[in-house]
Structure 1
Amino acid sequence: MRTVRQDTNIARERLVKGLALALLLLMGLWCVAGPSGLLAWGENQRLLDQREKQLVDLKVDRDHLKNRVALLDPRKMDPDLAGELVRSNLNVARPDEMVMQLP
Structure 2
Amino acid sequence: MWTKHHKKRKLGRFVMPLVTVAFLSYFGYHSVHGDFGLRATEVFDKQRVDREARLKTLTEKRMILEKEVALLSDGSLERDMLDEKARLSLNMSRADEVVIFH
CA deviation after TM superposition for structure 1 residue 43, in Å: 1.3
User: CA shift at 1:31, angstroms?
Assistant: 1.3
Task: Supply the distance in 2 between the matched residues of 1:51 and 1:88 (Cα, whole angstroms).
Answer: 31
> Residue 32 and residue 91 in structure 1: after superposition, are their counterparts in 2 closer, same or farther (change >3 A)?
closer
Structure 2 residue aligned with 1:31: 31
Alpha-carbon shift at residue 16 of structure 1 (Å): 2.5
SS in 1 for 2:77: coil
Which ranges of structure 2 fall in alignment gaps of 5 or more residues?
none
> How far apart are residue 92 of structure 1 and its match?
4.5
Of Structure 1 and Structure 2, which has the larger fraction of its residues in helix?
1
TM, length-normalised to structure 2? 0.76
Pairing of 1:77-88 with structure 2 (within 5 A): 77-88=77-88
What is the RMSD of the two structures over their aligned residues, measured on CA atoms?
2.4
Q: 1:98 to 1:69 in 2, by over 3 A?
A: closer
Q: Percent identity?
A: 27
Shift of 1:93: 3.6
Amino acid at match of 1:68: E
